[in-house]
């Protein structure tokens, strides 16, 4: 790569969409810390929501998105999402992207929670993410190099501008890459929890790196927990798509009592936070919860991934009941960006779940995340295409950049331990005492070093752990500060939305450390 490259970090749908629309540029490189199929997008069972069906309209989709997001959304960004989404999808369909159709070749539009219209496009039944990623990889046809197993460990900042990245290979070798634009598409941080639908690589490292580099992050307290992960052997072993409830499955207890009766007018398709809390209430009473799938026709054909998951874990589909537990699923917050994916640091962009565009508000509407990846992945490419040829700073990126090495004191906790702590204290139901404990626990691990020190002398695993601590701290300390409940953020000591918090975002920058202690 020459000195003015464009670097995309991550290999999910947002990253590949940006690469697709940047493919005419010569100098684009994608770095991913694992491999091209190790992303949340690849595993996405749910589909893409878009107002393409007869009788549907972007305004209805807009309204549903704001309702799900508890009106914490940025309405202007939501409008961009729901108006541009159908156009981009139609363009991809015309280019050969195959969504599921009925026997007459008409698109099948599915239903999921919070949608007032059948508008979810699926591919391969429950393999939409895999189909979209495969489509883009095929379209790219190696025109954009995708470097696997090379982890971006830091962003290079010169004169307040992002001018490149540092990477580390599996053998520990560090490289410095100069770039005129760096696009973070590193996903969210639901991998900070023990029960999660996410790839375990989704630990918030892109968000932590951006915060370290001086970028603003926001809405970190808003984590969506998906109500139905398959439970087996005391663990959550994979997602059971909400589309299963969309096709008629219902939540019930061992003795057949309906869990959602009397809880919410939308019943089993109530907002995810409401359903997840109803399940937690049962589990805390020692009552197991099941998804009764007997009303779903052709289950194996419609949901092949879930059927295979059940078989792999000894869950008998013929019995018609899948044991379920909630698990961390999606971060509504992230790196603050404008409508072109630009962060508050010039030269640094963010898209997909790593970014906080404001489209999801306090709670994401089902199947809006792939749509966001497509719309804003394309927008970031449009922005960079317009700015191509911008000069970078004249100074050469230097590995040593005058930073002291990042010190480790006390020894870092294991990653499983971090996940347990966050699950126990910053989970589905939160309160001041447990959040305070979590913040104190996280702050003992020399967080200031994680803000300033040079990480290249550390092992890759230590760097990832440090970024997990920083991302976890952003979630916990934001959750402590928001003294209300709204969408994905529920506090038992403040169980209702408060008008003072309406429309208020918790925007965080590392400048806050100048007035430490900051976690209070």
Write out the catalytic residue numbers: 272
Q: Considering beta carbons, is residue 243 or 291 the nearer one to ligand SIN?
A: 243
Within 10 A of 258 (CB to CB), how many other CB atoms are there? Answer: 14
Token pair for 108: 């099948």
Count residues binding ligand SIN (CB under 6 A).
Answer: 8
User: Least distance from C-beta 184 to ligand SIN, angstroms?
Assistant: 21
Q: Is 369 in the site for ligand SIN (CB under 6 A)?
A: yes
Near ligand SIN by CB under 6 A, which window of 68-76, 230-238, 239-247, 312-320?
239-247
Query: Which residues lie closer than 8 Å to 161 by C-beta, 6 or more apart?
Result: 345, 346, 347, 392, 393
Whether omega before 46 lies within 30 degrees of 0, making that bond cis, reads no
Q: Considering beta carbons, is residue 203 or 367 the nearer one to ligand SIN?
A: 367
Q: Is 366 in the site for ligand SIN (CB under 6 A)?
A: yes
CB 318, CB 307: distance < 8 Å? no
User: Least distance from C-beta 226 to ligand SIN, angstroms?
Assistant: 6
Q: Is 275 in the site for ligand SIN (CB under 6 A)?
A: no
From the list 167, 241, 292, 485, which residue makes contact with ligand SIN (rule: CB under 6 A)? 241
User: Least distance from C-beta 125 to ligand SIN, angstroms?
Assistant: 11
- Give the full edge-to-edge strand order of the sheet including 48-49: 48-49, 120-121, 109-110
Q: Is 29 in the site for ligand SIN (CB under 6 A)?
A: no
CB 224, CB 272: distance < 8 Å? yes
Task: Tell me, letter by letter, the H, E, C secondary structure of 441-475.
Answer: HHHCCCHHHHHHCEHHHCCHHHHHHHHHHHHHHHH
Q: Considering beta carbons, is residue 29 or 367 the nearer one to ligand SIN?
A: 367
User: Least distance from C-beta 241 to ligand SIN, angstroms?
Assistant: 3
Q: Is 242 in the site for ligand SIN (CB under 6 A)?
A: yes
Q: Is 127 in the site for ligand SIN (CB under 6 A)?
A: no
Q: Is 164 in the site for ligand SIN (CB under 6 A)?
A: no
Q: Is 243 in the site for ligand SIN (CB under 6 A)?
A: yes
From the list 10, 12, 46, 187, which residue makes contact with ligand SIN (rule: CB under 6 A)? 46
| Residue closest to 46 by CA, chosen among 365, 376, 265 | 365
Q: Considering beta carbons, is residue 112 or 150 the nearer one to ligand SIN?
A: 112
Q: Considering beta carbons, is residue 180 or 224 the nearer one to ligand SIN?
A: 224
Cα separation, 338 vs 361, in Å, equals 15
Near ligand SIN by CB under 6 A, which window of 61-69, 240-248, 283-291, 349-357?
240-248
Q: Is 454 in the site for ligand SIN (CB under 6 A)?
A: no
Token pair for 327: 């698990």
User: Taking the mean position of all CA atoms in its chain, how far away is CA 358?
Assistant: 13
Burial of residue 263, with CB atoms counted within 10 A of its CB: 0-12 exposed, 13-18 middle, 19 or more buried: middle
Q: DSSP secondary structure string, 162-222?
A: EEEEEEEETT--EEEEEEEEEEE----SGGGSSSBSS-TT-SSHHHHHHHHTT--EE-TT-
Q: Is 25 in the site for ligand SIN (CB under 6 A)?
A: no
User: Least distance from C-beta 63 to ligand SIN, angstroms?
Assistant: 18
Q: Considering beta carbons, is residue 137 or 249 the nearer one to ligand SIN?
A: 249
In 22-74, where does DSSP find H-type helix?
A: 40-43, 58-68
User: Least distance from C-beta 259 to ligand SIN, angstroms?
Assistant: 17
Token pair for 358: 């404001």
Q: Considering beta carbons, is residue 182 or 366 the nearer one to ligand SIN?
A: 366
Kindly provide the residue ranges of all beta strands, DSSP E only, lying in 321-389, ordered along the sequence: 321-331, 334-336, 348-350, 355-356
Residue 115, helix vs strand vs coil: coil
Near ligand SIN by CB under 6 A, which window of 236-244, 386-394, 464-472, 498-506?
236-244
User: Least distance from C-beta 224 to ligand SIN, angstroms?
Assistant: 8
Q: Is 65 in the site for ligand SIN (CB under 6 A)?
A: no
Cα separation, 144 vs 491, in Å, equals 45
User: Least distance from C-beta 239 to ligand SIN, angstroms?
Assistant: 6
What's the Cα-to-Cα distance from 46 to each of 39, 64, 239, 250, 370, rounded to whole Å?
14, 17, 10, 17, 9
State how beta strands 321-331 and 223-232 pair: antiparallel
Near ligand SIN by CB under 6 A, which window of 8-16, 152-160, 164-172, 365-373?
365-373
Q: Is 363 in the site for ligand SIN (CB under 6 A)?
A: no
Phi and psi, residue 474, nearest 5°: -65, -40
Cα separation, 1 vs 270, in Å, equals 49
Q: Considering beta carbons, is residue 112 or 252 the nearer one to ligand SIN?
A: 112
Near ligand SIN by CB under 6 A, which window of 235-243, 335-343, 375-383, 459-467?
235-243
Residue count (the chain): 520
First to last CA, the chain: 45
Whether the CA torsion 67, 358, 279, 235 is positive or negative: it is positive
Q: Considering beta carbons, is residue 30 or 275 the nearer one to ligand SIN?
A: 275
User: Least distance from C-beta 327 to ligand SIN, angstroms?
Assistant: 11
From the list 29, 40, 45, 196, which residue makes contact with ligand SIN (rule: CB under 6 A)? 45
Q: Is 342 in the site for ligand SIN (CB under 6 A)?
A: no
The CA-based angle 8-464-423, given to 5 degrees, is 110
Near ligand SIN by CB under 6 A, which window of 58-66, 362-370, 385-393, 496-504?
362-370
Q: Considering beta carbons, is residue 366 or 470 the nearer one to ligand SIN?
A: 366
* Range 192-221, binding ligand SIN (CB under 6 A): none
User: Least distance from C-beta 72 to ligand SIN, angstroms?
Assistant: 18
**Where on the chain is the footprint of ligand SIN (CB under 6 A)?**
45-46, 241-243, 366-367, 369
């Amino acid at each position: 790569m020459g000195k003015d490259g464009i670097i995309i970090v991550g290999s999910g749908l947002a990253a590949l969409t940006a690469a697709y629309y940047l493919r005419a540029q010569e100098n684009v490189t994608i770095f991913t810390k694992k491999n091209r199929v190790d992303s949340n997008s690849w595993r996405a069972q749910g589909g893409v929501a878009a107002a393409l069906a007869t009788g549907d309209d972007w305004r209805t989709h807009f309204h549903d998105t704001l309702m799900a997001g508890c009106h914490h959304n940025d309405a202007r960004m939501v409008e961009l999402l729901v108006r541009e989404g159908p156009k981009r999808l139609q363009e991809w369909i015309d280019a050969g992207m195959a969504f599921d159709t009925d026997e007459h070749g008409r698109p099948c539009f599915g239903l999921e929670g919070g949608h007032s219209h059948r508008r979810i496009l699926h591919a391969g039944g429950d393999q939409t993410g895999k189909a979209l990623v495969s489509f883009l990889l095929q379209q790219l046809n190696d025109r954009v190099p995708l470097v696997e197993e090379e982890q971006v460990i830091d962003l290079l900042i010169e004169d307040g501008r992002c001018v490149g990245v540092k990477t580390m290979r599996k053998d520990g070798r560090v490289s410095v890459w100069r770039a005129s634009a760096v696009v973070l598409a590193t996903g969210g941080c639901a991998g900070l929890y023990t029960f999660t639908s996410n790839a375990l690589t989704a630990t918030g490292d892109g968000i932590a790196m951006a915060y370290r580099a001086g970028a603003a992050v926001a809405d970190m307290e808003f984590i969506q927990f998906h109500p139905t992960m398959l439970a087996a052997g005391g663990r959550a072993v994979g997602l059971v798509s909400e589309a299963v409830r969309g096709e008629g499955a219902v939540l019930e207890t061992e003795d057949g009592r309906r869990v959602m009766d009397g809880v919410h007018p939308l019943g089993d398709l109530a907002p995810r936070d409401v359903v997840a809390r109803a399940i937690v209430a049962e589990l805390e009473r020692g009552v197991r919860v099941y998804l009764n799938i007997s009303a779903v026709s052709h289950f194996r054909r419609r949901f092949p991934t879930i059927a295979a998951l059940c078989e792999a874990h000894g869950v008998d589909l013929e019995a018609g009941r899948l044991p379920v537990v909630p698990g961390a699923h999606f971060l509504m917050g992230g790196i603050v960006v404008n409508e072109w994916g630009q962060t508050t640091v010039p030269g640094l962009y963010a898209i997909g779940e790593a970014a906080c565009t404001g489209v999801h508000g306090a709670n994401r509407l089902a199947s809006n995340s792939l749509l966001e990846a497509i719309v804003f992945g394309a927008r970031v490419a449009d922005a960079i295409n317009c700015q191509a040829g911008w000069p970078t700073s004249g100074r050469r990126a230097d590995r040593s950049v005058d930073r002291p090495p990042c010190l480790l004191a006390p020894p870092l906790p294991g990653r499983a331990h971090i996940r347990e702590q966050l699950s126990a204290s910053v989970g589905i139901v939160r309160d001041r005492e447990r959040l305070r404990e979590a913040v104190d626990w996280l702050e003992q691990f020399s967080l200031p070093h994680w803000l300033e020190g040079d990480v290249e002398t550390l092992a890759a695993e230590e760097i990832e752990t440090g970024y997990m601590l920083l991302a976890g701290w952003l979630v916990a300390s934001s959750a402590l500060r928001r003294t209300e409940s709204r969408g994905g953020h529920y506090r038992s000591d403040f169980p209702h939305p408060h008008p003072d918090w309406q429309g208020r975002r918790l925007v965080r920058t590392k400048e806050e450390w100048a007035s430490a202690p900051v976690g209070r």
